[in-house]
Amino acid sequence: MAAPYAGQYVTPGRFGGKVAVVTGAAQGIGQKVAERIGAEGGAVVLVDRADLVHDVARGIGEAARASGSGGSATAVTADLETFAGATQAIKAALAAHGRVDVLVNNVGGTIWARPYEEYDEDKIEKEIRRSLFPTLWTCRAVLPAMIEQGSGTIVNVSSVATRGMHRVPYAAAKGGVNALTQSLAMEVAGHGIRVVATAPGGTEAPPRKVKRGPDAESATEKDWYQTIVDQTVESSFMKRYGTLDEQAAPIVFLASDEASYLTGSILPVAGGDLG
């Protein structure tokens, strides 16, 4: 079961009365964001295709009750690589709470690491589907409700790897997330909706409970992956990976009313690497 958010910078009540949908919330950055919003009084709907998201939601709910934060958490299992899955997730949030104030699109991540000429057609399509389509679909699914209520905030999780080694399809997908963020922000500002993004760099995290793809097997595959690690550290002014808490904090800030004059912005969170 998930431990309560342990960061020292929690702002009590910042999300009081707010309903936040967080995708990819079963582990990693998404889990940390959901824990933080729950600790700050929000009603969090965690979405993931892995069933363990229900355990994370129970942990957040128990922590909220124990602390008296006013937060709550429910979980929805859905495949956000399909529009049907994204629609299902948003409908579940609306059925439970009647509105969605915040959407954090966190689904995505490199599946394979290799020079572009080593990607076949199937791998290219799967990378794009994993790291672009969930954000496209879920933005589209939530917009009617946000437009009707005349307010809302969408925070997309992109990446500084739009410039990086051995993951061209992933870079292209995250470049699409950046374009989506800026274009949609312009389009929906008149409806009272903000659209922003963070662009994380390398992030230290526990071993994934559900892996994105197969482990590197050959010495060559391991070398290709190590190139990513080395380039990521070298590109960072701080010469290190960030922590999950260091990634969650700016996402939560951008999702909050404190960021009310920010839209269309993409914030690099990568120790100085601008991508």
Q: Please tell me whether residue 50 adopts helix, strand or coil conformation.
A: coil
3-state secondary structure 197-264: EEEECCECCCCCCCCCCCCCCCHHHHHHHHHHHHHHHHHCCCCCCECHHHHHHHHHHHHCHHHCCCCC
One-letter amino acid at 214 equals P
Cβ neighbours of residue 5 closer than 8 Å, sequence gap 6 or more: 32, 35, 36, 38, 39, 63
Domain 19-269 has CATH 3.40.50.720: yes
Q: What is the pLDDT of residue 6?
A: 52
Burial class for 124, CB neighbours closer than 10 Å (0-12, 13-18, 19+): middle
Q: Catalytic positions, please?
A: 170
* Nearest partner of 111 among 224, 234, 252, judged by Cα: 224
Instruction: Provide long-range contacts, Cβ within 8 A and 24+ apart, for 184-191.
Output: 184/139, 184/154, 185/263, 185/264, 186/264, 188/143, 188/146, 188/147, 189/263, 191/146, 191/147, 191/150
Sole residue written with tokens 């309560």 = 4
Which residues of the chain are under the pLDDT cut of 50?
1-5
Q: Please tell me whether residue 72 adopts helix, strand or coil conformation.
A: strand
Query: Against a cut of 0.85, is the pTM above it?
Result: yes
Sole residue written with tokens 């312009």 = 186
* Cβ 48 vs Cβ 30: under 8 Å: yes
* Cβ 270 vs Cβ 160: under 8 Å: yes
CA angle 1, 207, 109 (to 5 degrees): 105
Domain regions of the chain by residue span: 19-269
Burial class for 184, CB neighbours closer than 10 Å (0-12, 13-18, 19+): buried
Q: What is the pLDDT of residue 2?
A: 42
